[in-house]
Structure 1
Amino acid sequence: MKTFCGLSYDPVKFKQTFRDNWNTVAPTYHAGWASAGRGPFRSTKELVKAANIRRDDYVLDLACGTGAVAKEASQFVGPSGLLVGIDFARGPLAIARSENPACNFAEMDAEHIGLRARFDVVLCQYALMFFPEPEKVLVALRALLKRGGRLAVAVHGPAEGVPYFSTIMEPVLKRIPDIRPAGTPNVHRFGRKEDLENVISAAGFSEVAVRNFIFDYQAGSFAQYWSDYMSTTAASIRSKIEARGAQVVEEIRMESEERSRKYADNGSITFPWQVLVATAANR
């Protein structure tokens, strides 16, 4: 395995796998999560609100996915403003375009942004933690922002704050600790306030502020939760889990079910979901 910047994972392969998986799960993700504003996507309104968008602002939605943030932001951008969304996967972009015909969308890698426009606001929901070089992305965003421009970023909280992920993933890692190469970006990468503040400040932003939100997510029965998680969240590693054999899969399932009971009431699971929303200025 090659080493990149001291890491034992291959960032090029990681991004390709991430893109392929994103293209596959985008319709389910959009219908069941983003467009419905369920669980963590209740942060969409909070993210856009925190950005304080004005009618004549030029707004960039970075790693826009299926366009949930762009749709919310479009309510605040007037005819003299501009709203652009970029993502590196065609599947979610197709959904974004179909639901937001008045917005501008482009297929573009956030680590290689090819835009000349200068923006008043940059929005980024649930993507910063997955960039192999997040500092590089944030520095590039500063160059795209006008003086006094505003950044608003949403990320998932730490493992203990988002049991939807950890309830299954911790039993997986216990049995298959090498399921992902060491150093692979993960969903909790900036889940702690100080880590999120530090990476944004290191890129040169000022007035960094982080707000903490606790939403809830109704996952249904354990069977529904297990099926949803394995077919969407764990889609990229599911084959590796199943390759360990039926006994290992059953052990993971049984431990996950036991862990989920603390969040269940009358057979229905409701998870708390911690989200951090950071804002910063380009002074």
Structure 2
Amino acid sequence: MSTKNNQPDWDKIAEKFDVWLPHIAPVGEVLLATLGAQPGDRILDLASGTGEPALTLARRLKGHASITGIDSADGMVQVAQAKAVKERLSGISFRCMPAEQLTFNDNSFDRILCRFGVMLFTDPLQGLKEMQRVLKPGGRFALAVWSTPETIPTLRWSYDVFSKRLPEELHPPLAKATSLGAPGMLEDLLSEAGFSGFSVESKTFDYQFRSFEELWDTVEASDVLKQQYDALPQNERGKIRDEVGRFARDFIHDGQLRIPHEYLVAAGGK
């Protein structure tokens, strides 16, 4: 991953990013079900971050597959590898590598997955071409990307409140995060990368919190908006929280904060 396009510094926030993992776990479950990995498969998890969903897959396959997770942020890779070592998981390893420059041979993997990574690649098309190159004939891929800006409420809220206070180069990365969500965009890229016979489906999951305070504590604990916060005067920070809180009020039901987010799942073979 890269800090370009206003993205967080993934190396620096690696150890804190895990606070989000329970909230995006449903997307990982959809990808794993779609991927259909089997014992004996050689599997690649692109933009694996701090290790998911590769680690979950390794636990389920119990060493009966070869799983490689890659990420371009070395800090993320170190956190992921430490988890695998701590759990004594076999058949899984992590490497620092940009998706656009995979060092694997052609036709190396039976299964390839990527959760919320492709749209953040420096060059998404080149990353998809590399994915197609290293996937075996008859192999299968599954990936997820965010949908359109209006369907990603939490990031859109952050963008709205920060963008009127900060210069453009410090705006939250709403455009980059949703860059493949427009109708037909992902399909066109996959076709250009050499894939055929794939499907793209729109799906929804909820961020669920006991309160807005719990949501905001997670945002702050993860440091995903650190560069935006650091650029603000101290007295503006409370205003940011209050404004986002007003957006969130419409999503409180039965004492729970449930915020629907839309994403796209692409799956197919080679």
Same fold (TM over 0.5): yes
Instruction: Please tell me whether the aligned partners of residues 99 and 130 of structure 2 are also in contact (alpha carbons under 8 angstroms).
Output: no
CA distance in 2, matches of 1:22, 1:97: 16
1:39-97 deviation per Cα after TM superposition (whole angstroms, max 9, x unaligned): x3211111011112122221111111111211232256576642111112232222322
Corresponding residue of 1:21: 9
RMSD between aligned alpha carbons?
2.9
CA distance in 1, matches of 2:174, 2:258: 29
Cα distance change on mapping 1:81 and 1:253 into 2, 3 Å: closer
Cα distance change on mapping 1:108 and 1:194 into 2, 3 Å: same
Unaligned runs of 5+ in 1: 1-10
CA distance in 2, matches of 1:216, 1:51: 22
Aligned match for 1:53, one of 28, 37, 40: 37
State the secondary structure of the residue aligned to 2:104.
coil
Corresponding residue of 2:98: 109
Q: Please tell me whether residue 66 in structure 1 is matched to residue 50 in structure 2.
A: yes
| Amino acid paired to 2:260 | P
Corresponding residue of 1:256: 244
Instruction: Please tell me whether the aligned partners of residues 153 and 278 of structure 1 are also in contact (alpha carbons under 8 angstroms).
Output: yes
Unaligned runs of 5+ in 2: none
The equivalences for 1:107-256 within 5 A come to 107-116=96-105, 118-176=108-166, 178-180=168-170, 186-231=176-221, 232-240=223-231, 242-243=232-233, 246-247=235-236, 249-256=237-244
CA distance in 1, matches of 2:256, 2:167: 30
Instruction: Please tell me whether the aligned partners of residues 217 and 270 of structure 1 are also in contact (alpha carbons under 8 angstroms).
Output: yes
CA distance in 2, matches of 1:145, 1:266: 46
State the secondary structure of the residue aligned to 1:14.
coil
Cα distance change on mapping 1:193 and 1:82 into 2, 3 Å: farther
Name the TM-score, length of structure 2 as normaliser.
0.84
| Amino acid paired to 2:164 | K
| Amino acid paired to 2:251 | Y
Aligned-residue offset at 1:267: 6.5
Aligned-residue offset at 1:23: 2.4
| Amino acid paired to 1:71 | L
State the secondary structure of the residue aligned to 2:137.
strand
Name the TM-score, length of structure 1 as normaliser.
0.81
Aligned match for 1:82, one of 66, 70, 74: 66
| Amino acid paired to 1:197 | E
